[in-house]
Structures are given as structure tokens and as C-alpha cells.
Amino acid sequence: MLKLLGRTSSINVRKVLWACQELGLPLEREEDWGLGFRSPQAPAFMALNPNAQIPVLIDDDFVLWESNSILRYLANAYGGEAVYPASVRQRAAVDQWMDWQAVELNPAWSYVFHSRVRKHPDFQDPAALLKGQVRWAAAMGILEQQLCKTQAFVAGEHFSLADIVIGLSVNRWFGTPFEHPHFPAIEQYYQRLGGREAFELYCGPGQP
């Protein structure tokens, strides 16, 4: 049985939950790790992930961290070709958008999210907040262009792992209160994802 460590309020934990739902994989979850629960700095947790971060996946004696790597592992190990295509180029496109989410988009929202959602006292500088909003919107502008091209999903006409990580990121965009620029293709994409069962479970009000 697959086991997942991490609180469901974490966007990175919800990536794994969404992927398991798409792949029809049963999952046992240890809720009480992360912000508001047991600290991932605990030696028992750090023995699993030295970064002291959630999520961590345990599959028998195999331990894996980094949410996007976990998604790729699940698709590779459990017949996920429908969401992680075998074709080298199609797969590379999925990887590209997953990596972009992790290294470009995720850092772009950091200040605004900590300020407006977490309401962290260290993230309340108005100039830095404005700068963060501009940076986040610029990254979302890149996504808008891509969705204008595909008119469907992030890496093309079919739903893929990239849509799990980008879908949750778009959900965070709409769930973070500030004046958003209007991105029609992203709005349509968000509605398109709304037809999926996992989206109803892991996105939406109260789960930015």
C-alpha cells in the first residue's frame, strides 16, 4: 500500500493526492506532518527527507520526496501512460511544464501567497508585495500564451501530469486575494479542469 506523509493543505501534497485519484491508486495518508501538525524537522521525518519538507511517498521500502518526481514515479510504476505519454517528445513537453511550475512559477507566487493567504508578518512590505504581484502575473502571462495555443491542456490536447501541477497552481492564483489581471484562456482552463472529480476534491474554496 502506498503511504503519503503530509497535511492536505499543502499544494504539493495535493498534487500526489490528485495523481493517485487520476491513476486509481489507493493511498494511506499520515496527516499529521507539516505546518500546524508535527514538525518535519523531527529526526524521524528528516531521516526520510533531509529537506524537512512534505510530501514524502513510501512505497514498501522505497522512499521518495519532491512532489513532481513523485508524480512521475507513480505514472511510471503504475501504468500512467494516459497522463505521462510514452512518446519522447510528448513526455518532454509534460516534463517541461512540470519543471517550469517548480522552478519558475512556484517562486513567483511566494511573497504574495505568504502575504495575502498565510498573512505572515514578515511578508507585509507594500513595495515587495507589488513586485511579487507583477512577477506572478508575468509568469501567468506565459501560461496564458500557452493555453491560447493549445486551447485545451498545458502540454497539448490531452490532460497530463502537467495539468495536475499547473491546475493546482492556477487554483492558488484564483484563491489568493489581490487584483488579478484578466487572463481569459486561464479562466477557461480552470473551468475545463472543474469537470474532473479530483479537482472538486483538491481545489476550490478554502484550498488555495
Ligand X SMILES: N[C@@H](CCC(=O)N[C@@H](CS)C(=O)NCC(=O)O)C(=O)O
Instruction: Tell me if residue 63 falls in helix, strand or coil.
Output: strand
- Give the residue with the Cβ less far from ligand X, 2 or 144: 2
For residues 157 and 150, give the distance between their C-alpha atoms in angstroms, rounded to a whole number.
Answer: 6
Q: Which amino acid is at 3?
A: K
Are 23 and 78 in contact by the 8 Å Cβ rule? The answer is: yes
For residues 118 and 35, give the distance between their C-alpha atoms in angstroms, rounded to a whole number.
Answer: 11
* Closest distance of CB 167 from ligand X, Å: 15
| Residue in the shown chain whose Cβ atom is closest to ligand X | 34
* Closest distance of CB 138 from ligand X, Å: 21
- Give the residue with the Cβ less far from ligand X, 16 or 143: 16
- Give the residue with the Cβ less far from ligand X, 11 or 161: 11
- Give the residue with the Cβ less far from ligand X, 34 or 80: 34
Q: Is 3 exposed, middle or buried (0-12, 13-18, 19+ CB in 10 A)?
A: middle
For residues 126 and 111, give the distance between their C-alpha atoms in angstroms, rounded to a whole number.
Answer: 11
* Closest distance of CB 135 from ligand X, Å: 18
For residues 75 and 152, give the distance between their C-alpha atoms in angstroms, rounded to a whole number.
Answer: 21
* Closest distance of CB 15 from ligand X, Å: 7
- Which chain residues interact with ligand X by CB under 6 A? 10-12, 34-35, 40, 53-55, 66-68
* Closest distance of CB 75 from ligand X, Å: 16
* Closest distance of CB 110 from ligand X, Å: 10
Q: Which amino acid is at 108?
A: A
- Give the residue with the Cβ less far from ligand X, 10 or 133: 10
For residues 159 and 92, give the distance between their C-alpha atoms in angstroms, rounded to a whole number.
Answer: 15
> How many Cα atoms are found within 13 Å in the side-chain-facing hemisphere of 52?
7
> Angle at the Cα of 96 (from 94 to 97), degrees rounded to 5?
70
- Give the residue with the Cβ less far from ligand X, 12 or 115: 12
